Chains A and B, each alone.
Chain A
Amino acid sequence: MKQVKVISPGLFTSVQDEGRKGFAHWGIPTAGAMDRGSLHRVNALLGNPNHAAVLETTFVGPLLEFEAATAIAICGAQAMVQLNGQEVPQNQRINVTAGDQVRIGKSEAGVRSYLGVEGGFLTDTLLGSRSWTRGLTNSFRLQKGELLSIGNATEKKKTNRTIEATPLDNLAFEVLPGPEFSWLSPEQQEQLFSQSYRLTTSSNRMAFSFTADPILPHSEVVFLTSPVLPGIVQWYPNGQLVLLHRDAQRTGGYPRILIFDNHALDQIAQLKIDQAFQLKKP
């Protein structure tokens, strides 16, 4: 089987695909690429099925050595991508030969890059998915020296065209009201949609917490643990808001006031900590 060697793992790199489906009632998170749009772009460029596994990088990408010829593509965050030290473009198919080294540098715009290979990464499958999930799969981040198996080219027609880059400049996210949206008073709803937010440094694959003026509940809220899905925004007793992302638990003990749809989840996965954003009134 063809392999890729990890010379340097990058800040936080993991194998991701479309995630696990049908196991949430056992307490198992969905997982999968945080920016699904970029996952699909990469796989489309390589003639892979949508669910083929890719590497998801965070801020600083890895240095990889390809032990056999294949083709790669990188979509998502804008970063310096080098093939044997020479810059190569993103958003298009790039051929590599045995011994070639590919480096994804620091992200300049956006946060997460997606590196796909022809035939996809063929690492272990657990509960229907190759996605690495902390606390569930044996691996959760790429390690130096690791060898990753990859597949072979499919019969699909290949393209060498460059596709449109992932838009990375959205700072106003469309949201829907959550089941407990009406628990907010009109004044609190006004604050929700008029104020500016930033992500905190504790944001990760499970959840993003927003920093802003807290929206304090008027009285002690009694909320029984209820089912949630990625995209739910929880309202904490201290007035903070937390957006559940792909690795989030599937039940939660806080009121669900907003819902980000898949597209908004993709977009916010590319938002940097210093970028102020707003929530669009539905």
Chain B
Amino acid sequence: MGKGNHIQLKSLGPAAILIEWPARIDEHINAEVLAVQQMLFDTDDPGIVECIPAYHSLLVEFDTSIVAKEKLEEQLLSMIASIAVKARKGKHWEIPVRYDGEDFKELCALKKLSPSEFIQLHSAPDYRVFFLGFLPGFLYLGGLDARLHTPRRAAPRTSVPKGAVAIGGQQTGIYPQNSPGGWQLIGHTDFEWFDKAADPPSRITAGDTIKFLPIR
């Protein structure tokens, strides 16, 4: 498997290749990941089945009856060598949030922050959408203030409500539907962006930015 600078290709079985950048939550790395994803989408190759980005890696699944693995590896290496991260104009979203989550008071106490200080820290940044995963439409947001980083709950809840705004580790996110979940619940939004019948099913995509607007 090839190495292009600090970027590695790894095999994930006969029909999947993983491209890995250095392991960290970094806007520039993620922008490169999304750039390669876009290059693959632009080829419009029917043999490419999935291109799944995460923080610092991209999983490419392909149809082995159409695409030869070695040829695809060469193609990927050449794409990686020519990454030109266009300043892609991601969309900016403002999402109203009521900071009344089940764990909100507990977290304020833990962090020794007043509710308004906590709200200020959570709602100040423009969060980058690094990728979607975990659940249909679940957004992985980067940029959470270090003072608000909190480990996931020891025991996950069997049911987290749709629209719950939450913190898990260094990440913040919104649950797009009712689901089991282990993140700390700090608030709630009625904002909807995922519609399984729409094309594409999510209005918000990786590379977009989000700002939370506190409401009463």
* Minimal beta-carbon separation of A184 from chain B (angstroms): 16
Chain B, 119-144, CB within 8 A of any chain A CB: 131-138, 140
Q: Mark A223-253, 1 if CB is under 8 A from B, else 0.
A: 0111111011000000000000000011100
A residues 249-277 touching B (CB-CB < 8 Å): 249-251, 256, 259, 261
Check A224–B13 contact: CB distance below 8 A: no
Question: A175: nearest residue on chain B (CB-CB)?
Answer: B13
Question: Is there contact, CB below 8 Å, between A23 and B201?
Answer: yes
> Which residues does chain B contribute within 8 Å of A11, judged by CB atoms?
none
Contacts of A216 in B (CB 8 A): none
**Which residue on chain A has the smallest CB distance to residue B140?**
A225
Q: What chain A residues lie within 8 Å of B61 (beta carbons)?
A: 24, 229
Q: Which of B23, B58, B194, B197 contacts A227 (CB under 8 A)?
A: B58
Q: Is the CB of A229 within 8 A of B136?
A: no
**Dominant secondary structure at the A interface:** loop
B16 CB → nearest A CB, Å: 6
> Is A27 interfacial (CB-CB < 8 Å)?
yes
Distance (Å) between the CB of B198 and the closest chain A CB?
A: 10
Interface residues in B, total, Cβ within 8 A: 44
Report whether B10 and A179 are in contact in the complex, using a CB–CB cutoff of 8 Å.
yes
| From B49, B179, B196, residue with most partner A Cβ within 10 Å | B196
- In the complex, A135 has a CB within 8 A of chain B: yes
Q: Are A178 and B12 in contact (CB under 8 A)?
A: yes
Known contacts A135-B177, A259-B12, A259-B13: A26-B55 contact under CB 8 Å: no
- Taking a contact as CB atoms under 8 Å apart, the answer to whether B14 and A249 are in contact is no
B201 closest partner in A (C-beta):
A26
The residues in B between 191 and 216 inclusive whose CB is less than 8 angstroms from any CB of A are 194, 196-197, 200-202, 206
Whether A22 is near chain B, meaning CB under 8 Å from some CB there, is: yes
B48 to chain A, nearest CB (A): 9
A25, B50: Cβ atoms closer than 8 Å: yes
Does A73 touch B at the CB level, under 8 Å? no
A261 to B183, CA, bound (A): 32
Question: Does A88 lie at the interface of the complex (its beta carbon under 8 Å from any beta carbon of B)?
Answer: no
User: B13 near A25 (CB under 8 angstroms)?
Assistant: no
Tell me whether A179 and B20 are in contact (CB under 8 A): yes
Q: Which of B14, B131, B177, B201 contacts A261 (CB 8 A)?
A: B14
Partner of A135, one of B20, B57, B179: B179
Contact A27 B12, CB 8 Å, known A21-B50, A229-B61? no
Min distance, Cβ B170 to any Cβ of chain A, angstroms: 9
Complex partner residue of A27 from B16, B23, B138, CB under 8 angstroms: B138
Q: Which residue of A lies closest to B176 (CB)?
A: A27
28 contacts between A and B (CB under 8 A): A22-B49, A25-B50, A25-B131, A26-B201, A27-B134, A28-B136, A29-B136, A126-B196, A127-B196, A135-B136, A178-B12, A179-B12, A224-B24, A225-B133, A225-B140, A226-B54, A226-B55, A227-B59, A229-B16, A229-B59, A232-B12, A249-B133, A251-B54, A251-B131, A251-B134, A251-B140, A259-B12, A261-B14
Given contacts A224-B56, A229-B12, 13 further A-B contacts (CB under 8 A): A22-B49, A126-B196, A126-B197, A136-B196, A179-B12, A179-B20, A224-B23, A224-B24, A225-B55, A225-B140, A227-B59, A249-B135, A251-B54
The 7 closest A-B pairs by CB, nearest first: A251-B133, A227-B59, A227-B52, A24-B50, A27-B132, A226-B54, A27-B136
Please report A residues at the B interface, Cβ cutoff 8 Å.
21-29, 126-127, 135-136, 176, 178-179, 224-229, 231-232, 249-251, 256, 259, 261
Q: Enumerate chain B interface residues (CB-CB to A < 8 A).
A: 10-14, 16, 18, 20, 23-25, 37, 49-59, 61, 131-138, 140, 171, 176-177, 179, 194, 196-197, 200-202, 206
